[in-house]
Amino acid sequence: MKQSRRNFLKFAGLSAAGLCLAPSVTALASEGGHGKAHEVVNANSLHAKRWAMVIDTRKLNTEEEINALAEVCHHIHNVPTIPTKQNVKWLWEATYAEAFPNQEDNYPSEDVEKRKFPLLCNHCESPSCVRVCPTKATFKRPDGIVAMDYHRCIGCRYCMAACPYGSRSFNFMSPRKYLDMDKINMKFPTRMRGVVEKCNFCVERLAVGEMPACVEKSNGAMTFGDLKDPNSNVRKALRENFTIRRNPAAGTEPGVYYII
Amino acid sequence: MLEKALKGGPKYWSWIIFLLLIIGAGFTVYLNQLQEGLTITGMSRDVSWGFYIAQFTYLVGLAASGVMIVLPYYFHHYKKFQGMVIMGEFMAIAAVVMCLGFIIVDIGSPQRMMNMIFHPTPNSILFWDMIVLNGYLLLNVVVGWTCLESERQRVEPPKWVRPLAYTSIIWAFSIHTVTAFLYAGLPGRHYWLSAILAARFLASAFCSGPAILLLVVFVVRKLTKYEPGKGAIGTLTTIITYAMCVNVFFFLLEVFTAFYSNIPAHGHSFAYLFVGSHGHTELVPWMWTAVAFAMISLALLIPPKLRYNQNLLPFSLSILVIATWIDKGLGLLIGGFTPNPFGEITTYWPTGKELMVSIMIYALGALVLTILYKIAVDIKRDLGELTTSD
Ligand code: SF4
Ligand code: SF4
Ligand code: SF4
């Protein structure tokens, strides 16, 4: 089981990389993930022991700014805009009280009260969504990214009940109904109905040497890097600023930090 | 023995056809769900489990109910339950069939359901729930069927049945415990995050399950000459009464912990359910109905005079069933998801289509139960054991 899981992880990583190297994916797919897959990794691909994100909410805190990031993210990942409560979101904005419900202040500073906070999957260190998934469709990669295999998900939505941050969305209907099929990003798959999805920390971009789209678009308000490397930019940001994480009491150890 | 199900009067057949029609109608709605996805339900990003999973949770209790007959019968040699053992076992079969049905209709991609078996994941409670439910189904089918068959041939049941029957008794506790663990281990869902949840599940199962069983048995008694015996009914009613007292007590323990601790997140779901929150009061009338019915049922069951009054009993049991159903088949699930992780309220109410699909599964359960009970009653009649003397 270990072996096939490792192969699977490798395969998943490779398929992400392979989205830009389409022929190799077909080659691998025909191997069905068995045997020793030959390494087809983009030479520029980024690696880390533990990916993490620091968001400076002093610089990034208006609805417009955050919506602009969400738009980029949702566009490149073909996330539909559904106007009902059965919507799908990977990145969205919320007030302080919604983002940090158990850390509300009775007399908050006016500044913080006004701010909006970008929310996304926290890619937790001990993610409850992975713990409960009965098919391993949600799994944690060695680099800390909590990834999903949409083809394996049975849509039981147990992970949605388990995530204490409301980071997951379910495709109640076919997402293609709410996508402009002429404008979709052909490099990234669309999902089918009946599966769960969420922010993937842009694994497909890391695999080709690019930073996550929201980070790139944030004008330096978001930092992305290796938490295990003391010299990384995220560690520098954490060293120099006071940060908090969402709902620490849930014990999942989120990988997204907020500078207040 | 199955041939017994094929011989019946016009009443029997019209009931079967009626159930088949409901199943057919529900199935067309289910086909629609397969086409459109779960968007036809009232579920949302915030309340991602709904009526289906709530019914599943409630019916696990019904499945475990048979144990309240089988346990005294096998462990304490309580002979008065002899006439009802098979009824309890067959009820368990029908209930587990419904449980599995509700899980299947709730899955977003049922075509991939076997992934749970192809990729077994022992860290997921859902994996264990699948194992214990299917195991319980198998145990009851084998034990129930074999016992009835040997009874029919007037021989002692084979020796290997006994250990299986003992296993099924312990197993019944496991199906409820594991189902409670499905909920109880989730961070951030304060209404469920309680060590007593499994105990609450058992208490509620051991009152509501036998109550439904008794109500069904009363119907069977009306329709046929089947008579389980006053003694058996009386004992079972006493068990129901004790279990209901424990059930209410456990609930009050939760209320104390939530409010005396004064931790806001722990009280929020209770507040939403019982007084409303952020202007949302949809469930308030339901929850108070449950409270009132629970109290009235206890008032009618605790005094022995009223408890053994055979005319009153169906009423007392019915309101007990309604109270526990609201608590577990509605409040438990919605309360767990509301408020959502952002402290907000998203309301949930099942849609008509969701109810149609649910009725289909209830009808399926009724069909399985009818057939099994028909066989059991016919065999008992052939043996001249339809009535228990006392
Ligand atoms: S935020 Fe939620 S979905 Fe994301 S890794 Fe953590 S528990 Fe899983
Ligand atoms: S919905 Fe999919 S990802 Fe979530 S727990 Fe179920 S199988 Fe796993
Ligand atoms: S990291 Fe990538 S997937 Fe996640 S929110 Fe940002 S852009 Fe979207």
In chain A, residues with a C-beta closer than 8 Å to the C-beta of B36 are: 173, 193
Pocket test for ligand 1, best of A50, A119, A123, A133 (most atoms within 8 A of CB): A123
Cβ count within 10 A of residue B78:
15
Stronger pLDDT, A136 or B388, i.e. the higher one? A136
Nearest-Cα distance to chain A for B188, in Å, is 5
Judged by CB atoms closer than 8 Å, whether chains meet at B107 and A155 is answered as yes
Q: What is the pLDDT of residue A7?
A: 53
> Residue B157 — very low, low, confident or very high, per pLDDT cuts 50/70/90?
confident
Ligand 2 neighbours (beta carbon < 6 A): A 132-135, 137-138, 148, 153-159, 196
Q: What integer best gives the mean pLDDT of chain B? A: 93
Residues 368-387 of B with CB under 8 A from A: none
260 residues of chain A, pLDDT tens digit each: 445 555 555 545 545 444 444 434 444 444 444 445 555 678 899 999 999 999 999 999 999 999 999 999 999 999 999 999 999 999 999 999 999 998 888 999 999 999 999 999 999 999 999 999 999 999 999 999 999 999 999 999 999 999 999 999 999 999 999 999 999 999 999 999 999 999 999 999 999 999 999 999 999 999 999 999 999 999 999 999 999 999 999 999 999 999 99
More confident call, B75 vs B192 = B192
**A60 Cα: distance to centroid of ligand 3 (angstroms):** 15
Q: How far is the C-alpha of B385 from the C-alpha of B5, rounded, in Å?
A: 19
CA B67 to CA B246: how far, in whole Å? 17
What integer pLDDT is reported at residue B156 of this predicted model? 86
State the smallest CA–CA distance between residue A210 and chain B in angstroms.
Answer: 30
What per-residue confidence (pLDDT) applies to A139? 97
Q: Which long-range contacts (CB under 8 A, 24 or more apart) does B213-222 make?
A: B213/B62, B213/B65, B213/B66, B213/B69, B213/B87, B213/B88, B213/B91, B214/B240, B214/B313, B214/B317, B215/B314, B215/B317, B215/B318, B215/B321, B216/B87, B216/B91, B216/B369, B216/B373, B217/B84, B217/B87, B218/B314, B220/B87, B220/B373, B220/B377
Q: Tell me the chain B residues in contact with residue A248 when contact means C-beta distances shorter than 8 Å.
A: none
d(CA A150, CA A143): 20
The ipTM is: 0.93
Using DSSP's 3-state secondary structure scheme, residue A54 falls into: strand
Of A85, A128, A174, the CB nearest to B45: A85
What is the reported pLDDT for A156?
Answer: 97
CA distance A88 to chain B (A): 8
Give dist(CA A169, CA B290) in Å, integer.
33
pLDDT of residue A21: 42
- Please write the tens of the pLDDT for every residue from B326-372: 999 999 999 999 999 999 999 999 999 999 999 999 999 999 999 99
The reported pLDDT for the residue numbered B109 is: 95
H or E, element range at B272: helix B264-274
Out of A128, A152, A170, the one facing B108 most closely (by C-beta) is: A170
pLDDT of B8 reads: 84
Q: B302 pLDDT exceeds 70? A: yes
Q: Are the C-beta atoms of B175 and B60 separated by less than 8 Å?
A: yes
Q: Percentage helix, strand, coil, to 5, in chain A?
A: 35, 15, 55
Both tokens of B300, joined, read 């009618």
